[in-house]
Copies of this chain bind each other. A is one copy, B any other.
Amino acid sequence: LRAATAIFEGDSFERLLPRAHAGPTLAENNGRQLDGLAPVAATEALARDFVLRGGKHFRPVITLAAFDAVTGGTATSPHGDESLAQIPDTVRRIALAMELFHKASLVHDDIEDDDPLRYGQPTLHRQFGIPLALNAGDYLIGLGYRVVAGGQGDLPSEMIGDILVRLADAHAKLCEGQGAELAWRGARDKRIEPLESLRIYALKTAPAFEAALYAGLRLGGAAEVYREPAARFARHLGVAFQILNDLDDWRDHQPNKGTAGGDVLAGRPTVLWAMALESLAPEDQRRLVELVSNVPGDGEATIRQVRDLYGRAGVYDKAVRLVAKHRDRAHAVADTIQPDALCRLLHYLADTILDG
């Protein structure tokens, strides 16, 4: 589905979402600095530059491919690129909005986690400070809603309205999931049930997949029949995706993070953590909680010992099995879906997004 991401290539992006302000882009401005840009053009320049920095574009791809699948397209066939190339700009714009929302959430999450890197570059707040980065994220949210709401010039108002309801619902749920994680990180009690951590995962990841899928289906016509299975599919996909992220956090040399074990140092309520506390002997549980409570201490030593305790608890294997379980369930939902093109697409998405 490479063609789907073509909407983020320069010309296409400019055509679908023209700039409001003339003048140089951030990349064209001397040394990617704001100095020299007109103040009223700075936010647009900053935000658009960030949108184009990278990403896998899963969410817009889901929207485009779902639209294609229910309108007789053949995106997942060998000639899929041609099929995707025929998708109208009205639909592409809404797919693009999915990425604007996602990028906004990355900017804000990076502030909340004080992550240093994103797409191999300094995060926006490390580069420009929290105020400008926060505001650029807000701007991208506004832009996303404006793009979708503006679609009613060409598409039926009910269609746009239905999509906006799902999008705003996903937006609020995502914040509830992120807030749950943040609240847990600040709480004294470091216990959490694996099911509770999965519930937070479902809130953090699934709603955006679900909204992107719903948008594509709704743009293709009536989508009510798909709503329940699409939500289930997105939940399994999102949960599996998040567990894979947690496992990735234990690999060295990740592109966006400093070292392995960052989730532990940041005190995140991962399912790995929850499963470790669940299955370790009481003494090891105490040791695990103590290790993390001592942060900041010797980060590397902490990580080594946590890795050891996680291994002893068998959480890496358990997590891999949990990913497989949710992947299987996503495939099982896909099996129940008609038409064939959509069925194939969901299988394809489960395979592609979970290929980690």
Q: Are B39 and A139 in contact (CB under 8 A)?
A: no
Within 8 A of B (CB), among A233-255: none
Given known contacts A111-B130, A161-B152, A161-B160, A43 and B179 CB-to-CB distance under 8 angstroms: yes
Question: How far apart sit A42 and B158, CA to CA, in the bound complex (Å)?
Answer: 33
Instruction: Specify the chain B residue showing the minimal Cβ separation from A137.
Output: B138
Task: Say whether A183 contacts B37, CB under 8 Å.
Answer: yes
- A301 is an interface residue with CB less than 8 A from chain B: no
> Given the interface contacts A40-B177, A139-B172, does A187 sit within 8 Å of B112 by beta carbon?
no
What are the residues of chain B within 8 A of A165 when measuring CB–CB? 146, 149-150, 152
Q: Are B142's CB and A172's CB within 8 A?
A: yes
Partner of A182, one of B111, B113, B132, B152: B132
A152 contacts across to B, CB distance below 8 A: 158, 161-162, 165
Instruction: Judge if A134 is at the interface, Cβ distance under 8 Å.
Output: yes
Q: Residues of A at under 8 Å CB distance from B?
A: 20, 34-35, 37, 39-40, 42-44, 46, 105, 108, 111-113, 128-132, 134-136, 138-139, 141-143, 145-146, 149-150, 152, 156-158, 160-162, 164-165, 167-169, 171-172, 174-184, 186-188, 196, 199-200, 203, 269
